Amino acid sequence: MPRRKRNWQPNAYFHVVMRGNNRQKIFQTKEDVMQLMRSFEFAAEKDHFTMLAFCIMTNHYHLLIRSKYVDLAKVMARINRRYSDYYAKRYSHVGRIYEKRYFAKQADGPQAILAISSYIHRNPIDTLVPIVGKLEDYPYSSYPYYSNEKLIPPSYLRTDLVAHFLPHPFDKTNQAYCPYCLTYKQIVEDDT
């Protein structure tokens, strides 16, 4: 039975989740995470997508991504193939490293974009045992680019949009978005 074609919309943002096979670790070292980040850069040069948020955990990663000109499936194939080739070579791994196809759900409007980005950024503190005490201390997420304006974000990351969707009485700034993330735990659908 063939797989169902995904519903890609060129101007829509999607929450994407990619998990390791059997939920095993696929990012064991800092170099592994840096290689995934290089895979994002490589794909962005070819496919010109934009991200609003990302978070890389040990056995999965989350993206809030929009691919305006190229089907998201092609973007994800490029990213995942590049990383899995690296992983296979580095760890002499044979077989799949990913559990299944990536999960993708369209963000239906500004409030969904705000909720999903906050959910993604909260991943390191919403685990059974928080990985860090402060979100800005987690280096494998886009959150530090929101909390520290001195950091230069990767070319594909936009940090100037999400804060515009904050509800009243929040200011429409990243300085207000960061406390919003810390204060309001979001519940969004993912592939769990």
Q: What is the pLDDT of residues 65-86, one digit of tens each?
A: 999 889 999 999 999 999 999 9
| Higher pLDDT pick, 88 / 9 | 88
- 192 in a domain, yes or no? no
DSSP state of 18: E
Domain at 33, CATH number: 3.30.70.1290
Structure tokens belonging to residue 12: 């829509």
Q: Grade residue 1 by pLDDT with cuts at 50, 70 and 90.
A: very low
- 8 in a domain, yes or no? no
**Mean per-residue pLDDT for 4-18?**
81
- 9 in a domain, yes or no? no
Q: Grade residue 57 by pLDDT with cuts at 50, 70 and 90.
A: very high
User: Which residue has tokens 């919403």?
Assistant: 126
Give this prediction's pTM. 0.91
- As a dihedral over the C-alpha atoms of residue 60, residue 66, residue 70, residue 73, rounded to 10 degrees, the angle is 30
- 107 in a domain, yes or no? yes
Inter-residue contact 190 to 107 (CB < 8 Å): no
Using alpha carbons only, what angle is made at residue 36 by residues 35 and 39, rounded to the nearest 5 degrees?
90
- 43 in a domain, yes or no? yes
- 21 in a domain, yes or no? yes
pLDDT at res. 104: 93
Inter-residue contact 14 to 52 (CB < 8 Å): no
- 6 in a domain, yes or no? no
- Which range marks the domain in which residue 22 is found? 14-183
Across the chain, what does the average pLDDT equal? 91
Domain count, the chain: 1
- 67 in a domain, yes or no? yes
Q: Grade residue 116 by pLDDT with cuts at 50, 70 and 90.
A: very high
**Mean per-residue pLDDT for 22-39?**
95
